[in-house]
């Protein structure tokens, strides 16, 4: 494939292929996220220009917290912490620290790669935590395994998310139907910080599937229904093909974001982010899903993308 030859010439992209040759993926060492994924030559995620910036957090890893922290401020045990506000329009600290990090390759083969980085102590987050991520190309998708380790001498708060914009080949987004088996959601204020915890209602209920056309969603869901020990979120096309975002039960939240401004080949298009998250927005304040790792403790967790009925 021409695309495969191109990405192999880009130093910060690592190419993977499944043993049967059906799945091809690239991982961007700038932030350690998933840059592209194809099955049988059809795209399963929205990609971006390898020589340009990462748009709209496409594929990004969100660590050591996903989503927003109100005002960048949080407190614990009477100690006040102030993170850098990197979302000035809303006044928040957003999506952690590793989106701008250069990940290091620690292991590599034709079908998988392990990339790693360390978050060092800094204002607002006086902890040292390591993130190691292994991407494995599978017959009809990709598996992502993470290990988080607290290198600090004291307990450290951590949470993790990922930000893929999923698609079903070249089927227009407005023709797709999104299903998320979640009973509750977190309504937000003008700063996009949760202010309540409510059962899903007609405006946000995705349990029976909803057409993306006309949907205005930037919503965090939780109280997810597990199937065979996994949470499974589906984006389906009229022809029966679908992509499944699956996670282990560590990912108790999922953010759904629909934008009509995703840059694609010089134009703007509708894209759907299905973001698995271990914690809720503003978890450093609310504690929803936040995990405190003891000194030296590790945490293993997994998610992935699968093509269905392909």
Between 299 and 4, name the one with better pLDDT. Answer: 299
Distance of alpha carbon 57 from alpha carbon 62, whole angstroms: 9
With a cut of 60, say whether residue 8 has pLDDT above it: no
Distance CA 115, CA 144 (A): 11
Arithmetic mean of pLDDT, 42-61? 95
- pLDDT at residue 139 greater than cutoff 60: yes
Confidence band, pLDDT 50/70/90 cuts, at residue 5: very low
Distances (CA, A) of 61 to 155, 160, 203, 231, 240: 22, 7, 28, 19, 30
Contacts of 222 (CB under 8 A, 6+ apart): 182, 184, 185, 186, 252, 253, 254, 280, 288, 289
Q: Fill in the DSSP letter of residue 47.
A: -
Q: Is the pLDDT of residue 30 over 90?
A: yes
Instruction: Tell me what pLDDT residue 9 has.
Output: 47
Cα–Cα distance measured from residue 94 to residue 67, given in angstroms and rounded to the nearest whole number: 5
pLDDT tens column, 151-185: 999 999 999 999 999 999 999 999 999 999 999 99
Rounded CA-CA distance 181/25 in Å is: 27
> Which has more confidence, 264 or 211?
211
User: What's the pLDDT score for residue 11?
Assistant: 85
pLDDT (tens digit, 9 = 90+) per residue, 243-285? 999 999 999 999 999 999 999 888 899 999 999 999 999 999 9
Q: Are 111 and 19 in contact (CB under 8 A)?
A: yes
Instruction: Report the share of the chain in percent with pLDDT over 90.
Output: 93
The tens digit of pLDDT for each residue in 183-201 reads 999 999 999 999 999 999 9
Whole-number CA gyration radius for the chain: 18
Chain centroid to CA 50: 19
Sequence-distant (≥ 6) Cβ neighbours of residue 24 within 8 angstroms = 1, 3, 4, 15, 16, 17, 18, 36, 37, 38, 137
């Amino acid at each position: 494939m021409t695309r495969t030859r191109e990405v192999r010439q880009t130093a910060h992209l690592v190419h993977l292929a499944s043993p049967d040759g059906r799945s091809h993926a690239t991982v961007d060492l700038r932030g350690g996220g998933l840059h592209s994924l194809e099955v049988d030559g059809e795209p399963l995620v929205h990609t971006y220009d390898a020589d340009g910036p990462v748009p709209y957090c496409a594929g990004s890893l969100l660590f050591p917290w996903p989503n927003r922290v109100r005002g960048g401020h949080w407190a614990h045990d009477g100690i006040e912490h102030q993170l850098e506000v990197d979302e000035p329009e809303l006044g928040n600290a957003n999506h952690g620290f590793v989106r701008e990090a250069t990940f290091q390759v620690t292991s590599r083969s034709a079908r998988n790669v392990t990339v790693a980085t360390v978050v060092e102590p800094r204002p607002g987050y006086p902890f040292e935590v390591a993130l190691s991520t292994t991407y494995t190309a599978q017959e009809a998708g990709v598996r992502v395994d993470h290990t988080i380790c607290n290198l600090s001498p004291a307990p450290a708060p951590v949470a993790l998310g990922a930000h893929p914009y999923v698609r079903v080949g070249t089927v227009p987004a407005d023709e797709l139907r999104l299903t998320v088996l979640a009973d509750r959601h977190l309504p937000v204020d003008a700063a996009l910080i949760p202010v309540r915890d409510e059962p899903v209602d007609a405006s946000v209920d995705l349990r029976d599937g909803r057409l993306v056309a006309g949907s205005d969603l930037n919503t965090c869901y939780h109280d997810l229904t597990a199937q065979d020990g996994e949470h499974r979120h589906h984006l389906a096309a009229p022809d029966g093909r679908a992509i499944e975002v699956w996670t282990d039960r560590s990912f108790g939240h999922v953010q759904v974001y629909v934008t009509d401004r995703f840059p694609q080949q010089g134009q703007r298009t509708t894209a759907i982010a299905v973001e698995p998250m271990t914690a809720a927005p503003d978890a450093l304040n609310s504690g929803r899903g936040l995990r405190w790792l003891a000194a030296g403790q590790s945490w293993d967790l997994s998610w992935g993308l699968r093509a269905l009925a392909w």
